[in-house]
Amino acid sequence: MRGSGSGSGGGGVRRGPVFRRGTARRDDGVTAVEFAGWLPILIMVALAGIQLGLIGFAALQAGSGARAAARVASVEETAGDWEPAGQQAMSGWLSGSVTMDEGCGGDGEVTVTATVTIPSVLPFFGGLGDAAKTVTMPCD
């Protein structure tokens, strides 16, 4: 029983789709054009995700620098080494600064603020500002 199909008539010979001359060429490259259209959007979404990670990393580094500087500044024997300790606690490729409001004075506390400039990976967004963290510790 050659070519017996589902019994719907028509001679029983099954044939594939009928292509007209020239129709297969009209769709060539459509996927590439669609991909080229979506690619800038996909790249911007990926860069935005990386940028959010860098913002969080800068905030964490500012907190680490402020905490390390305040810890060193609160100990009387090492009170003069607070700024290098804060700088060393932060990542080297981030530009940051450490400032102290006042040393161990009359209130028995030291307050240190660390500021880190947030790097930008997004084009056209150069100035994203700074991440600053302040830590207050009791003096020993």
Walk along the chain (140 residues) and give the pLDDT tens digit of each residue: 555 555 555 566 777 676 566 555 677 788 888 888 999 999 999 999 999 999 999 999 999 999 999 999 888 778 788 889 999 999 888 888 888 877 777 788 889 999 999 988 887 777 789 999 999 999 88
Sheet holding 130-138, edge to edge: 96-102, 109-117, 130-138
d(CA 32, CA 26): 13
Amino acid at 55: I
* Contact partners, residue 133, CB within 8 Å, separation at least 6: 59, 62, 63, 65, 66, 67, 113, 114
d(CA 86, CA 68): 5
